[in-house]
Chains A and B, each alone.
Chain A
Amino acid sequence: MAARGFDDVVLAAPVTVPYVRFSTRGAHWFLGRAVAQLVAAAKIPKQRIDGLAVASFTLAPDTAVGLTQHLGLTLRWLDHVPMGGASGIVSIRRAARAVQNGDAEIVACVGGDTNHTDSFRRNTASFSQFAQDAVYPYGSGGPNTSFALLTAYYMRAHGATREDFGKLCVAQRDNALKNPLALFKKPLTLADYLNARLVADPLRLFDCVMPCAGAEGFLVMRRGMAEQLGLPFARLLGAVERHNAFPDDPIQDRGGWSLDRDALYAQAGVGPDDIDFLETYDDYPVINVLQFEGLGFCPAGGGADFIRAYTFEVAGSFPFNTSGGQLSVGQAGAAGGHLGIVEAIRQLTGQTLGARVPNARHGLVSGFGIINYDRGICSGAAVLAAT
């Protein structure tokens, strides 16, 4: 049975709490700033927010519940979405159903984290039981290890080269240079990329996201509410999520998108050819390629040819990660799962911080997260449209 559509659910008020490499603040500060920016952007008193979806790795010992008292929010709908890079997409799906069904009118979706000098190590060490027992003890490379193994396998199995991945990274950096909030300010050449220091063979420095602190947020509401508040908005045409897809694959070279893309496009009423720009979850370039394939932009295993056939700058033949993506903006923990959504809303509402994709009507945002053991086990995607 096909899932019900999202009717007139819209996304508005894209906000970013500027990223910093390290912060002395707690996660509550970044999430609090995000909610404050949402209230300011929507020009509403905070009491109007009656729903909240929160994603954060560094909020412990609190969850979303503790945040309500911390921020003085009285809510009738609350969700905590611990799904990392897929959290933004999942929050959209949860929030959309809430506003569709009248459980909430205005849902704030926020994702963010702080980054102290030792936070990343501590989060990695205890990321999951499987990671603690069976991954972290082997060199404590964190996600670098897992993605190095996936990348090495993908390159061997499907003929992709470092130049292919480099082309994506260089394009993203070009996009980031126009985004004032991106942490990376220097141009990246393919030579820089290829010759950077080794991190985990075949991954080098610019294959790996840089952990930082920051937050992203947006509001989910019905179209009528957005119009009443005078807010520019993007329409939600479709959204899917999948957890622990293909558990029997010996190694991950596809994600849940392969299972769900047909449903997604059917729900959205558009196809890959209608998509004007793509925002992927890009902690490592190989995952971009799995999203190109899984979302139907190229056949499985055809990622390398696809990269060679297109250009990925905002003005290119396949506008991609138009704000620079996490690889050139920074990975502010769970904010990374919201970065592409916030950028897509900006593109579709004409509020871009950097370059704008001309005449963009449809944007596809994809999420991927939680390297629980040997692979990312959450995937999701959403199709957004301009009014």
Chain B
Amino acid sequence: MSQVAKRPKRKNPVERTRQPTLPPPTRSRVALGLTAAAARGRLQLQVCVDCGTVQYPPREVCRACLSQRLVWRRQDGAGELISETTLHAAQELYFRERLPWRIGNVRLDSEVNVMAYVHDAVGAPPCRVRIEAALDRAGQAALIAMPQTGRPALLDDPKLREMTCDPRARKILVSDGKSAVGQAIVRALAAAGADLIWIGVAEPWKQAAGFDGLRELPQAKVVALDVTDSHSVRELAGEIGGKVDIVVNTNDCHRAFSLAARRGVETAQLEMDINYFGLLRLAQEFAPALKARAADGTTNAIAWVNVLSIFALANYPPHGTYSASKAAAFSLSQNLRAELRPAGVRVINLFPGPVDDEWDQLEMPPKLSPATLAAALVDALKGGVEDVYPGDVAQDWVARNLENPKALERELGETLR
């Protein structure tokens, strides 16, 4: 349950656009373990393999037994808020611009102390809280003390809301609105309160089942956008680039072929042209505009979402060339993330498993419905994450990939009979 934000006042168009500031982005290498987990919405702390002691802040050696064998493990975050303060002065511009800040000292049940942001819904110390991890606007992990009971959203706290990319009241480009996934995402964003959704349409002469229903959404505006056509992307960026707050790259060319099942490169080139070069073209035209508006009021440019595929992590041979194109897009998304991070614009990647659509027809269930995928996308925008693995297959793959990438490669190789 989120508070209903009033529709923001329109900006005076002759006013200077504020420039983005960021929370401190610097972390030690070892502390990035916290960020890696927060990127998926998880709280992980180091735990000593030898004595079980939980560690925080992140370190190289166990504080109890000096073992070097520290591993990142998921934590429930339960603990007690033992002290708090509200900062009315800050040294960094980002915080100065947003004072005051509520900061607390939490003693976790695992006997470590963490300093954390304290959610509005948390009472005065001493009280029980639950620590969560989210990404701040610098893209680094931040710990947040939430009430122990109830699950208030980051959005419900006016300060912590800034860690999210709430689609409410925002102007969003969905780059391909014709696919089943694209349509579901448009509907989900509309339901989440988007102010305006530009729905990109390529090859307008090709009908898409259900598409005409989108035109009835009051926020919807259909625009010509063909990501294989640089001119088309440039034209649209020229027209709406200065207004877009969130770009959702839904373009997806999925052909179910292994490299041996399709002679020549034409099909693979089409996949690359849409999945990889499409992202490149969109990014080259829209990213500069997003960066320029990253601090433009309360409905600033704030996020870029790519609908990738779990096949981006490891090649799925029955869809081999598609997997390669999604891997290329994933790699480029990391480049985009590096470009946008200094402006505080978050790049969120979704890695869904097989979707219940025409090109995954022959995939065995479980399959994701487009609506479930769209709901995961909206959740990601409302939260503080950047890597999302929606669905059971994606969760399974990412766990296997983390555990043993070579084993996953071999097992996927067996799928090509």
B residues apposed to A, CB below 8 Å? 23-24, 26-28, 31, 34, 56-58, 63, 82-92, 94-95, 100-101, 103-105, 107, 111, 113-117, 125, 136, 138, 140, 142-143
A251 CB-CB contact with B under 8 Å: yes
A373 CB-CB contact with B under 8 Å: yes
Total A-B pairs, Cβ < 8 A: 128
A314 to B92, CA, bound (A): 39
Apart from the given pairs A132-B26, A139-B101, 11 other A-B contacts in the complex at a CB distance below 8 Å: A126-B26, A133-B34, A135-B115, A137-B136, A139-B90, A142-B91, A144-B87, A153-B83, A201-B86, A201-B88, A247-B63
Residues of chain A lying within 8 A (CB to CB) of residue B111: 248
Contact B86 A140 (CB under 8 A): no
Residues of chain A lying within 8 A (CB to CB) of residue B57: 129-130, 133-134, 373
Contact B125 A148 (CB under 8 A): no
Contact A250 B85 (CB under 8 A): no
A100 to B31, CA, bound (A): 44
A200 CB-CB contact with B under 8 Å: yes
Contact B23 A251 (CB under 8 A): no
Indicate whether A141 sits within 8 Å of B113 (C-beta atoms), given known contacts A133-B27, A149-B83, A200-B85: no
A311 CB-CB contact with B under 8 Å: no
- Chain A 239-252 interface 0/1 with B at a Cβ cutoff of 8 Å (1 = within): 00000000110110
Indicate whether A199 sits within 8 Å of B82 (C-beta atoms), given known contacts A125-B24, A137-B140, A251-B105: no
Name A117-145 residues within 8 Å CB distance of B.
Answer: 120-121, 124-126, 129-130, 132-142, 144-145
Contact A138 B28 (CB under 8 A): no
Contact A197 B88 (CB under 8 A): yes
Contact B27 A138 (CB under 8 A): no
A190 CB-CB contact with B under 8 Å: no
Residues of chain B lying within 8 A (CB to CB) of residue A142: 91
Of the A-B pairs whose beta carbons lie under 8 Å apart in the complex, a sample of 8, sorted by A's number, is: A129-B57, A132-B27, A138-B117, A149-B84, A152-B83, A153-B125, A251-B83, A373-B113
The CB with the most chain A CB atoms within 10 A, among B26, B85, B100, B142, is that of B85
Q: Which of B56, B63, B91 contacts A125 (CB 8 A)?
A: B91
Return B388 CB to nearest CB of chain A, in Å: 23
Residues of chain A lying within 8 A (CB to CB) of residue B82: 153, 250-251
Contact A129 B28 (CB under 8 A): yes
Q: Which of B34, B89, B107, B114 contacts A141 (CB 8 A)?
A: B89
A156 CB-CB contact with B under 8 Å: yes
The CB with the most chain A CB atoms within 10 A, among B26, B31, B91, is that of B91
A residues apposed to B, CB below 8 Å? 120-121, 124-126, 129-130, 132-142, 144-145, 148-150, 152-153, 156, 197-203, 247-248, 250-251, 373-374
A148 to B107, CA, bound (A): 16
The CB with the most chain B CB atoms within 10 A, among A132, A133, A136, A197, is that of A133
A153 to B80, CA, bound (A): 13
Contact B142 A199 (CB under 8 A): no
Q: Which of A134, A138, A203 contacts B31 (CB 8 A)?
A: A134
Residues of chain B lying within 8 A (CB to CB) of residue A121: 91-92
Return A135 CB to nearest CB of chain B, in Å: 6
Q: Which residue of A lies closest to B34 (CB)?
A: A133
Contact A149 B28 (CB under 8 A): no
A96 to B268, CA, bound (A): 77
Indicate whether A153 sits within 8 Å of B105 (C-beta atoms), given known contacts A120-B91, A134-B57, A199-B89: yes
Residues of chain A lying within 8 A (CB to CB) of residue B23: 137, 140
Return A246 CB to nearest CB of chain B, in Å: 12
A197 to B89, CA, bound (A): 10
Residues of chain A lying within 8 A (CB to CB) of residue B58: 133-134
Contact B87 A139 (CB under 8 A): yes
A25 to B142, CA, bound (A): 37
Residues of chain B lying within 8 A (CB to CB) of residue A139: 87, 90, 95, 101, 103, 117
User: Across chains A and B, which 5 residue pairs bring their CB atoms closest together, nearest first?
Assistant: A148-B85, A134-B57, A133-B31, A140-B92, A153-B83
A203 to B57, CA, bound (A): 25
A124 to B117, CA, bound (A): 19
Residues of chain B lying within 8 A (CB to CB) of residue A137: 23-24, 27, 136, 138, 140, 142
Contact B105 A374 (CB under 8 A): yes
The CB with the most chain A CB atoms within 10 A, among B83, B86, B101, is that of B83
Indicate whether A140 sits within 8 Å of B83 (C-beta atoms), given known contacts A130-B57, A132-B27, A133-B27: no
Indicate whether A198 sits within 8 Å of B88 (C-beta atoms), given known contacts A129-B28, A133-B57, A138-B103: yes
Residues of chain A lying within 8 A (CB to CB) of residue B138: 137
Q: Which of B63, B87, B115, B125 contacts A134 (CB 8 A)?
A: B115
Residues of chain B lying within 8 A (CB to CB) of residue A141: 85, 87, 89-91, 95, 101, 103
